[in-house]
Amino acid sequence: MHAKATMTDNLHIVWKGLEPSEALRSHIAGHVEALGIDDTCRVVVDHPHHQRRHGRRFEVKLELGRHTVSHAGHDTGEDAFATVSSAFAKLDRQLTDENQQLRAVHRRAPRRA
């Protein structure tokens, strides 16, 4: 099965191994909005066909600027919605850590009189 893509102004979703889902697209868009993302965010939702020892799992990859986050569902019980939420939680932590580091550098910078 070939990948299919869905695209809006700042959201590009690639569907691999599953048909595009309006409900999942809306779920992803909600996460993008909640994080206040203005840049283009690329999301790859993959449901690989190859069988693994523990069955098929969803995999999600997020690309936002120089940030890339990948998350594979922990088990076959984790659905696409939970996998997407976990991936966005990782991205949120990454962005928060970066903001805290930038603030720390800014506080240490000498001030001019």
Question: Is 78 a residue whose pLDDT tops 80?
Answer: no
Question: Is 76 a residue whose pLDDT tops 60?
Answer: no
Which CATH number belongs to the domain containing residue 17 in this structure? 3.30.160.100
77: in domain: yes
Question: Is 74 a residue whose pLDDT tops 80?
Answer: no
> Range of 37's domain?
4-108
Which region among 32-41, 51-60, 83-92, 96-105 has the lowest average model confidence (pLDDT)? 51-60
Q: Is 14 helix (H, G, I), strand (E, B) or coil?
A: strand
> What is the identity of the amino acid at 2?
H
Cα end-to-end distance, the chain, whole Å: 63
Structure tokens at 106: 């800014």
Structure tokens at 2: 């070939």
Total domains, the chain: 1
Q: Is 46 helix (H, G, I), strand (E, B) or coil?
A: strand
The residue among 76, 69, 24, 21 whose CA lies nearest residue 48 is 76
pLDDT digits (tens, 9 = 90+) for 18-69: 999 999 999 999 999 998 888 899 999 999 876 556 567 899 999 998 899 9
Answer whether 78's CB lies under 8 Å from 21's CB. no
**Would you give the DSSP letter of residue 40?**
-
113: in domain: no
